[in-house]
Amino acid sequence: MNRLTNRIDTNADGWDGPGGPQDLFFAKDEAFHYPRIARTDDIYLFEENGNRLIDISSGPVASNLGHNNARVVKAIQDQVAKLPFVTNRTGRTNENIELAAKLAALAGEGYERSFYVSGGSEAVETAIQFARQWAWANGEKERTKLFSLMPSYHGGTVTALALSGDEAVEPIYKEMAVMPERIPAPLSYRAPAGLSHEENEALILKLFEDRVIELGSEKCLAIFLEPVGGLASGCNVLSQAFVSGVRQICDRHGMMMIFDEVMSGAGRTGAFLTAHFHPDAKPDLVVLAKGIGSGYIPLGIMLAPASKVDRLRELTGFNYGHTSNTNPLACAVGIATVEELTSRKLVENAAETGAYMKERLWGLADRYPVIGDVRGLGFLLAPEIVCDRENKTTFSAEAKAPDTIRQLGFEHGLSIYARRTNNGKFGDWIMTSPPLTTTRTQVDEMIDCLDQTLKAFVDRMTLEGHRIA
Ligand SMILES: Cc1ncc(COP(=O)(O)O)c(C=O)c1O
Q: Which CATH number fits domain 70-343: 3.40.50.720, 3.90.1170.40, 3.90.380.10, 3.40.640.10?
A: 3.40.640.10
Q: Give the number of the atom of ligand 1 that is nearest the alpha carbon of residue 264.
A: 1
Region of 54 please: left (phi>0), alpha (psi -120 to 50) or beta: beta
CA 107/CA 105 separation, integer angstroms: 6
Task: Report how far apart, in Å, the C-alpha atoms of 365 and of each of 311, 361, 383, 384 are.
Answer: 52, 6, 9, 10
Cα 453 to its chain centre, rounded Å, is 24
Q: Angle CA(286)–CA(291)–CA(295) in degrees, nearest 5? A: 135
Give the pLDDT band (50/70/90) at residue 21: confident
Superfamily of domain 22-64+345-463: Aspartate Aminotransferase, domain 1 (3.90.1150.10)
Instruction: For a ligand 1 pocket test, name from 262, 285, 429 the mutation site with the most ligand atoms within 8 angstroms of its C-beta.
Output: 262
What pairing do the DSSP bridges indicate for beta strands 181-184 and 145-150?
A: parallel
CA 165/CA 421 separation, integer angstroms: 10
Q: Contact, 236 vs 200, CB < 8 A?
A: no
Q: Angle CA(271)–CA(272)–CA(276) in degrees, nearest 5? A: 60
Peptide bond into 35 cis (omega under 30): no
Which residues are CB-neighbours of 17 under 8 A, at least 6 positions away?
none
pLDDT digits (tens, 9 = 90+) for 100-116: 999 999 999 999 999 99
Q: What is the DSSP string of 43-90?
A: TEEEETT--EEEETTHHHHT-TT-BS-HHHHHHHHHHHHH-----TTT
Among candidates 32, 53, 47, which has minimal Cα distance to 434?
A: 53
Give the pLDDT band (50/70/90) at residue 429: very high
pLDDT above 90 for 63: yes
Question: Residue 155 C-alpha to ligand 1 middle, in angstroms?
Answer: 5
- Helix then strand then coil, in percent of the chain rounded to 5, is 40, 15, 45
- List, edge to edge, every strand of the sheet that includes 414-415: 37-41, 44-47, 52-55, 414-415
Among candidates 299, 277, 301, 276, which has minimal Cα distance to 287?
A: 301
pLDDT above 80 for 423: yes
Q: What is the DSSP string of 329-393?
A: HHHHHHHHHHHHHHHTTHHHHHHHHHHHHHHHHHHHHHH-TTEEEEEEETTEEEEEE-SBTTTTB
10 Å CB burial of residue 404 (0-12, 13-18, 19+) is buried
Extents of the domains making up the chain: 22-64+345-463, 70-343
pLDDT above 60 for 1: no
Share of the chain above pLDDT 70, in %: 96
Cα 374 to its chain centre, rounded Å, is 17
Among candidates 37, 49, 131, which has minimal Cα distance to 320?
A: 131
pLDDT value at position 13?
55
Residue 228 Cβ < 6 Å to ligand 1: no
pLDDT value at position 9?
47
pLDDT above 60 for 12: no
Share of the chain above pLDDT 90, in %: 91
Tell me what the pLDDT averaged over the chain comes to: 95
* Helix locations, 169-300, DSSP H: 170-173, 197-215, 240-253
Residue 124 Cβ < 6 Å to ligand 1: yes
Question: Residue 123 C-alpha to ligand 1 middle, in angstroms?
Answer: 9
Instruction: For a ligand 1 pocket test, name from 118, 121, 273, 429 the mutation site with the most ligand atoms within 8 angstroms of its C-beta.
Output: 121
Instruction: For a ligand 1 pocket test, name from 263, 299, 419 the mutation site with the most ligand atoms within 8 angstroms of its C-beta.
Output: 263
Question: Residue 156 C-alpha to ligand 1 middle, in angstroms?
Answer: 7
Residue 371 Cβ < 6 Å to ligand 1: no
CA 386/CA 369 separation, integer angstroms: 8
pLDDT above 80 for 16: no
